[in-house]
Amino acid sequence: MTTRGTVYLDIDGVLNKGWSPKMHADRVLVRRLNRLRDARFVLASTWRHRFGLRATVEFLKGHGFRGSIDAALPGIGETQIERWQMCRKDAGSGRWVLLDDRAPRRSNVVRPRRGLSKADVLEVLRKLEGE
Tell me the sheet residues that pair with 96.
Answer: 6
Size of the chain in residues: 131
**CA 98/CA 116 separation, integer angstroms:** 13
Q: Tell me: the pLDDT tens digits for 80-116?
A: 777 777 776 555 557 889 999 988 888 899 999 989 9
122 inside domain? no
Residue 124 pLDDT > 90: yes
Q: Which amino acid is at 94?
A: G
Position 93 scores a pLDDT of 56
124 inside domain? no
40 inside domain? yes
1 inside domain? no
Number of structural domains (the chain) is 1
Q: Tell me: the pLDDT tens digits for 25-78?
A: 999 999 999 999 889 999 999 999 999 999 999 999 999 999 999 899 877 666
3-state secondary structure of 91: coil
